[in-house]
Amino acid sequence: MDPTRIIHRVAVVESGGSYAAQNRNSDGAGLAFGLLQWTQRSGSLGALLKTMSKADPTRFSQVFGADAGRLLTVATSAEEATRMSLPLWAPPWTARFAAAGAAPSLQRAQLRHAQIGVEWKATAEIMALFNLHTERAATLAFDRAVQQGPNGAKSVARRLHAALIAEGLVRVEAADLLQTYADWCAAPFRRSSPPSPPSAAWKPVGGAWHKHAGSVDLYALIQRRTQSILADPSLSDVPEEVTA
């Protein structure tokens, strides 16, 4: 199983497959950058920047100039408020990140970071938990770890695993297991009744309420992404070893 192929499959949906892709604080997460849209607020962008600076310190310094050191210090801070203190979604930072996304050595660093990062580690944990080592399973788990966060994706997997064991279902068909996992990932973002107290994040859609991030319907987005993976004929369902 080739992690690079899986990463690129998810990146096409996440960023259009662009190393230079930027979401400029449209959802309150600060700057989201690169193949997997690592975010400023969460600290994942800082982790990426640290990898990039180690991979090619000369090019990193050229791209970010005299502010390179300050950028690393702020973006990797343990404090969310500090991480958000630089407006990385505005000039001159946006031009610098565009240059970083165009630099071949820093592109390679992005890909390597995706292969060793927390999202891929979560993918491996989820596959091991379900004892399901196929390309399709890895792609679904990785997609959920990227969009919902590694801890969120693992939490859903653990709850589902516990529920299946409690029901005595120690063996489940792969297709059924992946479909159920996809459904469980989407479920928290849909309600059959309005929230109490009311929240502007929840909006009526048809006869239900879906959670939104800005104008994005999160339930519909997760359903669209997961069902595309489950139906993708190019993804293998043959058990494989993971290769780095």
What CATH code is carried by the domain that includes residue 14?
3.30.386.10
Judge if 108 and 144 occupy the same domain: no
Contact in structure between 237 and 134 (CB atoms under 8 Å): yes
Task: State which of 116, 138, 170 marks the end of a domain.
Answer: 116
Regarding whether 46 and 36 lie in a shared domain, the answer is yes
Give bridge partners of residue 203 from the DSSP assignment.
210
User: From its phi and psi, is residue 165 left (phi > 0), alpha (psi between -120 and 50) or beta?
Assistant: alpha
* Same-domain status, 92 and 44: yes
Provide the phi-psi class of 196: left if phi over 0, else alpha when psi is between -120 and 50, else beta: beta
Quick one: 150 and 66 in the same domain? no
Judge if 7 and 60 occupy the same domain: yes
Domain shared by 92 and 164, yes or no: no
The helix (H) or strand (E) run that includes residue 165 is: helix 150-166
Instruction: Give yes or no for a contact between 131 and 221, defined as CB atoms under 8 angstroms apart.
Output: no
Whether residues 110 and 123 fall in one domain: no
Asked whether residue 43 is domain-assigned, the answer is yes
Total count of domains within the chain: 2
DSSP state of 193: S
What pTM was estimated for this model as a whole?
Answer: 0.92
What does the pLDDT read at residue 171?
83
Does the pLDDT value for residue 210 go beyond 90?
Answer: yes
Mean pLDDT of 12-17: 96
Residue 222 has pLDDT above 70, yes or no: yes
Parent domain of 189: 118-231
Residue 240 has pLDDT above 90, yes or no: no
Task: State the pLDDT at residue 243.
Answer: 65
Shared domain check, 62 and 29: yes
Q: Is residue 154 part of a domain?
A: yes
- Say which residue the tokens 């029901």 belong to: 167
Residues 154 and 223 in one domain: yes
Confidence check: pLDDT of 173 > 90:
yes
* Same structural domain, 63 and 77: yes
Please tell me the predicted confidence (pLDDT) of residue 185.
98
Residue 123: CB atoms within 10 Å? 29
Quote the CA–CA distance of 205 and 217 in Å, as a whole number.
9
